Amino acid sequence: MSTFIKRCREEAGLTQAVLADKMGVSVMTIQNWESGRTKIEMGRFTDLAAIFNIPVETLIKEILIEEDQSRPDRWPDFLFEKETNAIIDTLHLNLAQQELFGLLYIYDAEYLKKEWIDIDTLRDDLKKIPYGFINKIGSIRFMNQVDGLHRVIKYVKADFLLKVLRLNPEAEFNIRRLTKDQICEFVDNGYKRVDDAAVFERTFEGEEGLYFRVSMRKARIFLAALEQNGPVHITDGRPHTIRDDIPEKILSAILEMCDFSRESWEKGDYEKYYNIYYIRNGLESVTVYHNVAGKTEEEQWILEINDKGRKLLEWFNEK
């Protein structure tokens, strides 16, 4: 934005002093704007646009671009396959596409209700969009907006997208630049999965899905305890249930991440689920479960954090 303001001033043939006089501010203020030391108040955009003879929307767009570039890329690429990360790279919207999404949501578009990846398009739902909206931006630009929006809502659940946009309606949606809490929510329950049952009924040729295969909620709770405690002798064989002598720190983490109340657990209410398979579900890629006993020894199955799990733990802890 600072570079843009300076370029507009110079193209308008104005000195910093003249611009300061027209804006009713000090020359120091103009210098601070152009150096990026201070931001321009939103209330001054209209006056600036008039002086530079440019649309006020252009100024706002430059601000949004600058803010988007200043937001760090927080996406944990190390955790997923390159095919998954390639899809993530496409999940961003501009303000026009977000406005179209809002209209579709208000008009109760059927496509937005889908919980699974589908080969259907937005064609029928687009008939609900008022003609005035399309006429205002032009049909070709409208179709381009539709294509960009469809690319995102094909993978992102509408309720998750709406929640993020409501928190910061002036920012462009970009999965990579969400907060870590939002990224965790997206990985756990904010994306559309491939409907395995539908695969047998319909052709998904060329369709790609997101396959995260990790529970961020469980990992955030359990990895910290496992790293602090160290490797745990957790079972005496794959068919066996959890040992009675596991450390209290590990037990507490298991109960929390599985939403088991201690009282009910002590009564044996979760016996069906209190096993290594249920507990490790969603943690397979960030932990190692292996037998450390020799061939002639009684099995000792150990659960420990792996390198990817340590990277994820560092990611959780980084500000």
State the pLDDT at residue 251: 96
Per-residue pLDDT reduced to its tens digit, 237-248: 766 789 999 999
Q: What is the mean pLDDT of each run of 10 residues along the chain (319 residues)?
A: 80 91 92 84 84 81 65 92 93 91 94 86 88 85 91 95 90 92 97 67 57 95 96 85 93 96 94 92 96 90 96 94
State the pLDDT at residue 169: 80
Class for the domain spanning 2-70: mainly alpha
Domain limits, CATH 1.10.10, in the chain: 216-317
Per-residue pLDDT reduced to its tens digit, 48-86: 888 888 888 777 777 666 666 667 899 999 999 999 999
216-317: CATH topology is: Arc Repressor Mutant, subunit A (1.10.10)
Domain limits, CATH 1.10.260.40, in the chain: 2-70
Distance, in Å, from the CA atom of 219 to the CA atom of 180, rounded to the nearest integer, reads 13
| pTM metric for this prediction | 0.78
State the pLDDT at residue 204: 44
